[in-house]
Structure 1
């Protein structure tokens, strides 16, 4: 077979060998037809073959993100974006500027503020009242497990000192019970009835803005971990994906993970299955599928809602009675996970605390006992704390460990809002990726963007070093929790391809597979481990098409693009 494209003079990490090899890649019809030396591949060339000189750069399988929220992230980019602010004053100033620039907006909506910018991680409403006293303001935090609102927002939602904490949620309060300004988990839902709906056009443009960023980071496929059945006038994210695919705007390969609404009960399963079938009847599953269900088992450690076996400590180091929040009773979780599994669907768990991990694994064990073994490829995401006795259960249950490696390091939120409130020794069991790998658990990798950057290179750096790029801090936890470079690269490539049921066609570079590639400016495997973060994606290819080229100055999201896209919010 003749090659339409030859990638020449580069290093190639196929995912099948121990490391990169010096090789060329022949591509035809969107697929790889050969990987080998220049001499071996020269017979595939014709006068019409397009030759691409890699100039010694490294070709990898395209990165695939196993846990990400592109549409929500894109919407937030186009609203009041607080992801880059470095302090409380800057956050308030950003809100004030956005409000002044958008006088016609009935609500000021946005996201991205970090809890460590504020004392106790819980900003007060008076900070927002000072700059926007006349309109509701509602801003989701970086981890999306809490929100910051002003007085007008609480008034609009009818929330007062007499409003009880909802099941699965908590309001921060003043001494007299008045809402202080921050709400957690299920308490965020108290605003749903009054917040403006997200319109279709904003969501669609948000997807395109996010895709542009992700392609620039070498990401060729992802699992969107929050695709809900829409309520009211909110845009349907599954419809957005379908329309983008039909229009040719969706370049990446997408697994849409349908959201299990913890208030809807078993009746929602019929609608989820019907939506799965609707997508399957229209699209190639390598382009778009909806055969997975997201189950949020618990909250997050920094607001003490991650479900733990041990109690949280208070600010004086004393034991409390709080073990976090389980959003489902264990028997209830077993029941609907077994039903989802019986429908042939994958379950994608948010399981952050060790009690949540136990509950999720117990549910998978119940499903297997009821339905028998299968190849649905269930996975648990986040895994901040895992008991040793549960680590061995991952391979036993064929449950994949979905790791957010970027979080496995010391940083302000970890050191001031999390570790001081967990039992002694918890740091050693934090993000136990190395133990999971040693036990034979299959690793897949994701970012949880916009909770943190989607950049796979940054996450790879942390997975190997257990320190953030440029930080002079000790590694988080013992040496045994570190991953090798190969382990984390494989998790980000064929590991996630496996979890997305795309491994037969993507995830490695070998003849017959789709030409989904990321090209880096350096050979990652030759860098000192403390310099891994220096690598830069220069090109991204999907199906033999270059969809991102850094040399062509295609900025991920220029200010001009941002201004143009923000017009959809006007």
Structure 2
């Protein structure tokens, strides 16, 4: 087997670790650094030398919270992402429908809900392009869909349909459904009536998602919303040997069906373990504690400024979240909880604290994802309970979404307490990063540019928004690499990934320059020269 010797650039081993100048990989594993690497390279019978040419080698990125299957499927429908008006979206849907006359249902994602006041999209607008077949478009928050009248008809949604549990059917003044459905209870009415996406589409989607990530330096991804059919797709892709990156599956816990889901979750974990693929694990269970602030379904301790939905939506009422978390924790699963609002974060922390008390000490590494608002009284509880805060740094900026939708709903004082990444890290909490792709960009460098500046791409505001929450670059880069590896239990692997040291899997990314020497606004354009997984170059950028 050919050994690979890397030299001629900066080899960054993580925050607080000394940099190396050379590195030797053999059998997919890092075997030596610096002088030991040079000496071993001279003895190697077969050797490939890689000149870094001033580049920057670091542990590969991980994505601690994403939806890769959703992201990969977006290319299987009309191209509505990035369209800047309703007319453009409708035209794209019409063009797709004309080019695919045999598709019985048309699925697409992701449209921008801020294009229409209050995000209320009318079925009749889609009817103008496709009146005879159902059309289902997801908003980019993936908590909302916009459908045409045919989809409403097939789903049995009309003026007499009662409001579903955990959902909202947006209506016209006469009570008829408008065409916008919010949250699972309403969205599922349509998807339960729709056919399952074909297996080959799903295989292409997983390959596409993996290739997307490799081109951005990512080799491990947490799929944070996996249902039983998705498990089948991942297993099939793993059996075919076509998974491009490592995936961990977070099995979705639904309050309307739990605890009847638990046996299926256990079976899914067992099936994945039995396959024994190094590219696939399934040791996590995903909970939604609330929705999102933009639609006023994020759960808040104090009411929204509009008071339209008062305190938002708690997905799990009463003690049900605590009971479910305790059950999956007792079964040995890692807990991963979506919690946006401060009330949801508190409920999630309470549930984790209850599971620890009931089930005793173990290495559980529970995760609270997003943590957009954390009350002062709960800030130190992350470290005390060993909870990993998996946050999305790209969201911590005063962009249009923040200024048009979020700030007016929260008010300025509360809005300025969002995304307390530096505060959590300083408290001793473990901080990892994720993208929530395809909700937002899956490129770590895009998010890192915001983490180290709290500014938009235009440099607004000067000095950064809530500058006390700006992260040191070394800590930020660790949060998108070594800390995600910690979240993913990488240290339990025979060859741990997420670190640059002898015995570790050779999972790393080579950047064209040292990102610590660049202005934050320059990071998104920094070239990814190559991405290695277990010593194999899975992506090579343009020279």
Q: Give the TM-score range, shorter chain.
A: over 0.9
Q: Aligned residue for 1:498?
A: 486
What is the root-mean-square deviation of aligned Cα atoms in Å? Answer: 1.8
Q: Distance in 1 between matches of 2:302 and 2:462?
A: 25
Alpha-carbon offset, residue 320 of structure 1: 4.4
The one of 382, 389, 397 equivalent to 1:394 is 382
Unaligned runs of 5+ in 2: none
The answer to whether the 8 A contact 1:16-1:508 is kept is no
> Could you say which residue in structure 2 is the equivalent of 1:199?
198
Structure 2 distance, partners of 1:171, 1:378, is: 33
Rate the CA distance shift 1:519–1:385 in 2: closer, same or farther, 3 A. same
Matched with 1:252 is 245
What does residue 299 of structure 2 align with? 307
Q: Structure 2: how far apart are the matches of 1:274 and 1:148?
A: 34
Q: Distance in 1 between matches of 2:463 and 2:342?
A: 21
Partner Cα separation in structure 1 for residue 514 and residue 15 of structure 2: 17
1:243 and 2:231 aligned = no
1:353 is displaced (CA, Å) by: 0.8
Deviation by residue 1:87-122 (Cα, 9 ceiling, x = unmatched) = 332222211211111112122211111112222222
Number of equivalenced pairs: 538
Q: Deviations over 1:221-240 (max 9, x none)?
A: 111111112xxxxxx22222
Cα-to-partner distance string for 1:429-458 (whole Å, 9 max, x where unaligned)? 111111111111101111111101100000
Aligned counterparts, 1:43-442, within 5 A: 43-45=40-42, 46=44, 48-185=46-183, 186-229=185-228, 236-284=229-277, 286-314=278-306, 319-320=307-308, 322-442=310-430
- Residue among 510, 527, 538 paired with 1:519: 510
TM-score, normalization by structure 2:
0.95
Q: Distance in 1 between matches of 2:98 and 2:399?
A: 33
**How many Å separate the matches in 1 of 2:158 and 2:407?**
32
The 3-state SS of whatever aligns with 1:80 is coil
User: 2 CA distance for matches of 1:475 and 1:327?
Assistant: 38
Partner Cα distance (2:89, 2:347) in 1 = 37
Query: What's the offset of the Cα at 1:3?
Result: 7.1
How far residue 22 of structure 1 moved from its aligned partner, in angstroms, is: 5.3
What is the rounded CA distance, in whole Å, between the counterparts of 2:432 and 2:421 in structure 1?
Answer: 11
- How much has 1:321 moved relative to structure 2? 5.5
TM-score (norm 1): 0.91
Deviation of 1:513 (Å): 0.1
Mapped contact 2:24–2:37 kept (Cα < 8 A)? no
SS at match of 1:265: coil
Query: How far 1:36 sits from its partner (Å)?
Result: 1.4
| Residue 425 of structure 1: how far off its partner (Å) | 0.7
Q: Which residue of 2 aligns with 1:528?
A: 519
Moved more, 59-68 or 90-99: 90-99
Counterparts of 1:508 and 1:214, CA distance in 2: 19
- Contact 2:9–2:21 under 8 Å retained in 1: yes
Match of 1:462 among 450, 474, 496: 450
Distance in 2, matches of 1:309 and 1:544, equals 48
After superposition, what is the alpha-carbon deviation per residue over 1:471-526, rounded to whole angstroms, capped at 9, x for unaligned?
54457742111111111110111101011100350111111100001111111111
**Distance change >3 Å, CA 486–CA 245, structure 1 → 2:** same
2:296–2:309 Cα contact (<8 Å) kept: no
Instruction: State the secondary structure of the residue aligned to 2:31.
Output: strand
Match of 2:439 in 1: 451
2:45 and 2:190 map into 1 onto residues whose CA distance is 63
Are the equivalent residues in 2 in contact too, given 1:92–1:131 (CA < 8 A)? Answer: yes
Q: 2: CA distance between counterparts of 1:246 and 1:10? A: 38
Q: Distance in 2 between matches of 1:175 and 1:519?
A: 57
**1:568 aligned residue:** none
State the secondary structure of the residue aligned to 1:240.
Answer: helix
CA deviation vs aligned residue, 1:112-144 (integer Å, no higher than 9, x gap): 111122222222222212211222111010010
